[in-house]
Amino acid sequence: MNNQHLKSKLQEINSVISKEYKSIDQIGVLSGLSGVALFSYHYSRYILNRVENKVGEDIIELIINKINDGYQYPTFCTGLAGFGWMIDNLQNEGFIDLPTDELLSQFDLYLYEMMILDIKSGNYDFLHGAIGYSIYFLSRYKSTKKNREAFIGSAPTIYLWSPMPLAEG
């Protein structure tokens, strides 16, 4: 695939995203709005056009509205863990400047509880299970602006690093 063909395909993808993103129900990074926002931000950097960031900003606003309206699906693929990872990623890449600790800490206990349920039931799946949640927590730990000892001392992180029996299966 030559460079011009690649640019044309990326432009085509961006055009579809700009028109269709409001019809996407899920918010996760792999099959939801977070992945679409991630593409929009990286595409804007690739074409050196900050105007395209506006689509990414609109998508993040839509996601936050969905959460405020009660969206609670937790997984990395389609839910809150994927959204949280995407926010951390955009912050770390210099695309956004948000109070990520403040924004994401409200999800930590809920995602921790979901992760523990999946561990106990033997669901270690990356997309819809415990490993996806652990990716979220590792990202949070690496990028937290809080005192790291305070983050390590939180229940989710202690449980992640404590010896525990695996689910029988």
Residues in Cβ contact with 149 at an 8 Å cutoff, skipping those fewer than 6 apart? none
Is residue 146 within a helix (H) or strand (E), and if so which, with residue range? none
- Is pLDDT of 146 > 90? no
Q: What is the DSSP letter of 50?
A: G
- Is pLDDT of 38 > 80? yes
Confidence at residue 162, expressed as pLDDT on a 0 to 100 scale: 44
* pTM as predicted: 0.84
Mean pLDDT estimate for the chain: 86
Q: How far apart are CA 55 and CA 135, in angstroms?
A: 26
pLDDT digits over 60-89, tens only? 999 999 999 999 999 999 999 999 999 999
Confidence at residue 152, expressed as pLDDT on a 0 to 100 scale: 52
Q: What is the DSSP letter of 78?
A: T
- Is pLDDT of 166 > 50? no
Longest dimension (CA), the chain: 53
Query: Considering Cα of 159, then 164, then 166, then 167, what sign does the dihedral take?
Result: negative
- The predicted model gives 150-162 an average pLDDT of 48
Asked whether 27 and 59 are in contact (CB, 8 A), the reply is no
**Higher pLDDT pick, 134 / 50:** 134
Asked whether 37 and 63 are in contact (CB, 8 A), the reply is yes
pLDDT digits over 93-137, tens only? 999 998 888 889 899 999 999 999 999 999 999 899 999 999 999
Confidence at residue 77, expressed as pLDDT on a 0 to 100 scale: 96
* Residue among 17, 15, 13 at smallest CA distance from 34: 17
* Residue among 70, 77, 67 at smallest CA distance from 123: 77
CA dihedral 154, 155, 157, 158 (to 10 degrees): 110
